[in-house]
Amino acid sequence: MNKSALQRARASYMPKVPKTLKGIVKIQEGEPTQSVSDQEAIQKLFPNTYGMPIITFVKGTERKTYPPMNVGVILSGGQAPGGHNVIAGLFDGIKSINSQSRLFGFILGPDGLIEHHYMELTGEVIDEYRNTGGFDIIGSGRTKLEDKDQFDKGLVILKQLNISALVIIGGDDSNTNACVLAEYYKQIGAGVQVIGCPKTIDGDLKNEMIETSFGFDTACKVYSEVIGNIQRDCNSSRKYWHFIKLMGRSASHIALECALQVQPNICIISEEVEAKNQSLDDIVQYIADIVAKRAANGNNFGIVLIPEGVIEFIPAMKKLIAELNEYLAKHDNEFKRIKRSHQRDYIIDKLSPENSKIYASLPETVARQLTLERDPHGNVQVSLIETEKLLAEMVGNRLAEMKKTGAYVGKFSTQTHFFGYEGRCAAPSNYDADYCYSLGYTAASLIAEGKTGYMSSVRNTTAPASEWIAGGVPITMMMNLERRHGGLKPVIRKAYVKLDGAPFRTFAANRDDWALNTEYVYPGPIQYFGPTEVCDQPTKTLQIEHEEQAKNSK
């Protein structure tokens, strides 16, 4: 494999780990736990894995011996920086527990388990991937592991390879399924433990015990670097408004974190849009008013950050999308027979008056995206809707109207961007390299202690890594019942931006100032070598949350 100079130097980086994971480790078990809600129902669904205690690993004195273990690992869902280090930590962890242990990777996500595609991850393979971005060591996939038939097929290969524990590295859905699998294998006495690891750049797999999902730190730093570069360009030529859409399928954690890092003129937060029942028109007017105010001060430039999922948080758009989904699911063939140039009018004619009016007001391109791009479940793929172009165009139209009444005097030229894939496979920051390695190493200790249905957890991560707290959280503890595909299902509760949380409040307290005054911060690229205050900083979100917790606990 050809490597860049940085890759070669970075390969020898030794991730920092909690001091309790070094040397002799002892397990400490807390009180029995409960799910976040719907306790009775969740307990019924998970009789074998419900109510287990939270686990913390502490320094031990007595060296125990463990038999060798064969462990399987799966990468599930979207890529996130640091996945390779979870696998490296897991490998080093099981080897330190017993040097005869072996690690097998299932290829291209859960499909690898079901279809029996795997490879042994030897020391030689692992060394090629230490501290690198991407999931390419074994690849990832989005197949959902949720049927008994899949579980049984998987068990055949697990038994063949003598694998006694499976580690699933994934987001909220994949970890929910990991728990269902753990419960099933325990119930049938399969002799296979299942451990989850919290992954997603979206940052929406977090709770009291899981501070952050891995990859969020690096992805946000990559986006903030390029947004900062654009801000500087923007402040140099002073002639463009940049509309920047940021990945994050649903929750706005990425947009909020980037806003805290770069201090843009505008950042839309989907959760606030929903809470205030805002319409598309309200968002357009909000942006147009700021553009007009800046123009009045002679500033015909600025930066707008838009979370990827905002469209679905606009209550009226949500209703429109729901009606479109349902209508097109039933009349797909008929719709496809309509001439392209007549499709828009066809839809306007078929929708309810309220939704028809909204649909008719959308620019041609977005109206088309709403009807054409559908996922395998028949839903509009909101991530493909070019919200940044939609808003830039609609704000331009609004400003033209305002110009007529004298409410706006200025020039409005736009550039649009979408940052998502650029950050998902970046080389992990020190934070993610350390955090991921520790998560993998912790998973190995959970396996050695015979645990199943747990998520690997590493906390206190705003402190130096040596002080981090490693352990395990029962996955059932994070669950509640949610309506999915028409029925109630047990799922890990997704974490959205809390409007009363300290990170959002910090943003809200500053945004009017950032809107009118140009207060840009230019974070620059992630640094891998250098002083700790440059290389090891966690996200602003995490820092602000921890500062508030510390204040409240005084």
Binding residues for ligand FBP restricted to 495-524, rule: CB under 6 A: none
Q: How far is the CB of 325 from ligand FBP (least distance, A)?
A: 18
- In sequence order, the 6+-apart residues with CB closer than 8 A to the CB of 452 are 49, 165, 182, 185, 186, 192, 193, 194, 195
Q: Which of 251, 313, 307 is nearest to 494 (CA)?
A: 251
User: Per CB under 6 A, which region of 40-48, 222-230, 243-251, 498-506 contacts ligand FBP?
Assistant: 243-251
CA 90: distance to chain centroid?
21
Q: What are the tokens at 304?
A: 């707008």
User: Per CB under 6 A, which region of 175-183, 222-230, 244-252, 358-366 contacts ligand FBP?
Assistant: 244-252
Q: How far is the CB of 92 from ligand FBP (least distance, A)?
A: 24
Q: How far is the CB of 418 from ligand FBP (least distance, A)?
A: 11
Q: How far is the CB of 202 from ligand FBP (least distance, A)?
A: 5
Q: Are 288 and 280 in contact (CB under 8 A)?
A: no
User: Per CB under 6 A, which region of 85-93, 194-202, 236-244, 493-501 contacts ligand FBP?
Assistant: 194-202
Closest CB to ligand FBP among residues 81, 474: 81
Q: How far is the CB of 141 from ligand FBP (least distance, A)?
A: 10
Q: What are the tokens at 170?
A: 């994934």
Residues 524, 527: Cα–Cα separation, whole Å: 9
- Residue spans of beta strands (DSSP E) within 124-220: 163-170, 193-198
Please write down the long-range contacts of 478-481, taking CB distance under 8 Å and 24 or more positions apart: 478/35, 478/36, 478/175, 478/207, 478/209, 478/210, 479/35, 479/36, 479/38, 479/42, 479/176, 479/179, 480/35, 480/36, 480/37, 480/38, 480/42, 481/37, 481/38, 481/41, 481/42
Binding residues for ligand FBP restricted to 432-491, rule: CB under 6 A: none
Q: How far is the CB of 171 from ligand FBP (least distance, A)?
A: 4
Closest CB to ligand FBP among residues 249, 389: 249
Question: Residue from 49, 131, 200, 278 that binds ligand FBP (CB under 6 A)?
Answer: 200
Angle between helices 280-296 and 387-405 (to 10 degrees): 60
Binding residues for ligand FBP restricted to 32-91, rule: CB under 6 A: 77-78, 80
Closest CB to ligand FBP among residues 307, 490: 307
Q: What are the tokens at 527?
A: 């640094």
Catalytic choice (202, 204, 432, 434): 202
Residues 165, 217: Cα–Cα separation, whole Å: 28
241-246 β-sheet, strand order: 266-267, 302-307, 241-246, 414-419
Q: How far is the CB of 373 from ligand FBP (least distance, A)?
A: 12
Q: Does 383 bind ligand FBP (CB under 6 A)?
A: yes
Closest CB to ligand FBP among residues 201, 436: 201
Closest CB to ligand FBP among residues 82, 472: 82
Residues 384, 249: Cα–Cα separation, whole Å: 10
Residues 240, 413: Cα–Cα separation, whole Å: 5
Question: Residue from 163, 226, 247, 320 that binds ligand FBP (CB under 6 A)?
Answer: 247
| 382-403: burial string, b at 16+ Cβ within 10 Å, e else | bbebbbbbbbbbbbbebbeebe
Q: Which of 196, 189, 186, 195 is nearest to 47 (CA)?
A: 186
User: Per CB under 6 A, which region of 195-203, 227-235, 348-356, 464-472 contacts ligand FBP?
Assistant: 195-203
Question: Residue from 89, 93, 112, 171 that binds ligand FBP (CB under 6 A)?
Answer: 171
Q: Is 29 helix (H, G, I), strand (E, B) or coil?
A: strand
Binding residues for ligand FBP, total number by CB under 6 A: 13
Q: Does 175 bind ligand FBP (CB under 6 A)?
A: no
* Distance spanning both ends of the chain, measured CA to CA: 53
Q: Is 38 exposed, middle or buried (0-12, 13-18, 19+ CB in 10 A)?
A: middle
Residues 435, 85: Cα–Cα separation, whole Å: 9
Closest CB to ligand FBP among residues 242, 424: 424
Closest CB to ligand FBP among residues 200, 480: 200
Closest CB to ligand FBP among residues 250, 278: 250
- Binding-residue pattern over the window 390 to 429 for ligand FBP, x denoting contact by CB under 6 A: ----------------------------------x-----
- Whether residue 202 lies in the annotated active site: yes
Closest CB to ligand FBP among residues 163, 427: 427
Q: How far is the CB of 408 from ligand FBP (least distance, A)?
A: 34
Q: Is 528 helix (H, G, I), strand (E, B) or coil?
A: coil
Residues 137, 107: Cα–Cα separation, whole Å: 9
- Binding-residue pattern over the window 306 to 325 for ligand FBP, x denoting contact by CB under 6 A: --x-----------------
User: Per CB under 6 A, which region of 99-107, 241-249, 292-300, 429-437 contacts ligand FBP?
Assistant: 241-249
Q: How far is the CB of 383 from ligand FBP (least distance, A)?
A: 4
Residues 20, 468: Cα–Cα separation, whole Å: 8
Question: Residue from 10, 221, 242, 249 that binds ligand FBP (CB under 6 A)?
Answer: 249
Residues at the interface with ligand FBP (CB under 6 A): 77-78, 80, 171, 200-202, 247-249, 308, 383, 424
- Give the active site residues: 202
